[in-house]
């Protein structure tokens, strides 16, 4: 698993530098597929597997784990948005970082609200609300075509919405993943669920950063031809790169929303 993940992360983070058509890039991607194939085969036949893939027969656990991976992957949006502010508005890292205070504050304040939503509406509704709020936050950050002061306000609002969405999502998602499994599988399922969140965040940040850095110096002409960018034009490449990287995070939020919709059942009335 370590070999496969290392190969994948090298492709994601260094693919633009090595060259997407370079055989080394495709060789590393092939190594990722081969390594994970070997890993899965070994785990399926192991008496004490590191990852018990039989747990994924439970569709609720599968849906919660997939959505957990995806929603944590949107962490890349915060990283890219701060880079955009630093690269286009001339903000220092510290000043840009202050905009994320709302993210932490909303998680701390509203995490208990997520618990109450779980008790009142069940995991599905709470998870859907959480995913929708995170999606709204990423869509706000995609607006790099706005003026600098406008985008700064959008970023501050989006960071707070990120915290709110994750606060609504976290407890209901954990409940959905773990309470639908036998007690003797609680340890293994909790480990897989947590691993999904960690890998999701790592992959999301790496993929978003790769898209941004690959386009930051040249931009993407098709974006500029479709969307009119206000204000300064000398930083257009960075703003276009930011829009592409942030749009990737919006797609991850949409995928998380679809996963919840398909796999997490509605609460039975009664």
Cβ–Cβ under 8 Å, residues 45 and 217? no
Q: For residue 243, how many C-alpha atoms fall within 13 Å in the half-sphere facing its CB? A: 21
What is the C-alpha radius of gyration for the chain, rounded to an integer number of angstroms?
20
pLDDT at 263 over 60: yes
Lowest mean pLDDT among 107-116, 154-163, 190-199: 190-199
Give pLDDT tens digits for 113-166.
999 999 999 899 999 999 999 999 999 999 999 999 999 999 999 999 999 999
pTM, rounded to two decimals? 0.86
Which pLDDT score, from 0 to 100, does residue 269 have?
A: 52
Which pLDDT score, from 0 to 100, does residue 195 have?
A: 85
Question: Residue 270's pLDDT band (boundaries 50, 70, 90)?
Answer: very low
Question: Residue 173's pLDDT band (boundaries 50, 70, 90)?
Answer: very high
Q: Which domains does the chain have, with CATH numbers?
A: 1-50 (no CATH), 58-263 (1.20.1250.20)
What is the dihedral sign for C-alpha 218, 252, 194, 75?
A: positive
61-75, 184-198, 255-269: range with highest mean pLDDT: 61-75
Mean of all residue pLDDT scores within the chain:
89
CA distance 268 to 259: 19
Q: How far is CA 100 from the centre of its chain?
A: 16
């Amino acid at each position: 698993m370590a070999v496969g993940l290392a190969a994948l992360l090298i492709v994601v983070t260094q693919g633009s530098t090595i060259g997407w058509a370079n055989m080394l890039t495709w060789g590393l991607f092939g190594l990722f597929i081969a390594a994970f194939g070997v890993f899965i085969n070994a785990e399926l036949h192991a008496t004490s597997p590191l990852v018990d893939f039989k747990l994924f027969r439970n569709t609720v656990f599968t849906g919660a784990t997939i959505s957990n991976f995806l929603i944590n992957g949107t962490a890349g949006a915060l990283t890219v948005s701060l880079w955009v502010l630093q690269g286009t508005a001339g903000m220092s890292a510290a000043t840009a970082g202050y905009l994320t205070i709302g993210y932490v504050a909303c998680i701390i304040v509203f995490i208990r609200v997520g618990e109450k939503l779980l008790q009142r509406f069940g995991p599905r509704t709470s998870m859907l609300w959480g995913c929708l709020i995170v999606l709204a936050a990423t869509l706000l950050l995609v607006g790099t075509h706005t003026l600098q002061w406008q985008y700064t306000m959008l970023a501050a609002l989006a960071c707070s919405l990120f915290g709110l969405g994750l606060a609504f999502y976290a407890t209901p998602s954990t409940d959905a993943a773990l309470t639908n499994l036998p007690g003797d599988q609680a340890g293994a399922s909790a480990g897989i669920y947590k691993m999904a969140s960690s890998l999701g965040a790592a992959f999301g940040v790496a993929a978003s950063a790769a898209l941004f850095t690959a386009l930051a110096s040249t931009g993407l002409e098709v974006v500029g031809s479709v969307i009119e960018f206000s204000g300064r034009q000398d930083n257009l490449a960075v703003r276009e790169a930011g829009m592409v990287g942030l749009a990737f995070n919006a797609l991850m939020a949409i995928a998380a929303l679809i996963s919840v919709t398909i796999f997490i059942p509605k609460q039975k009335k009664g």
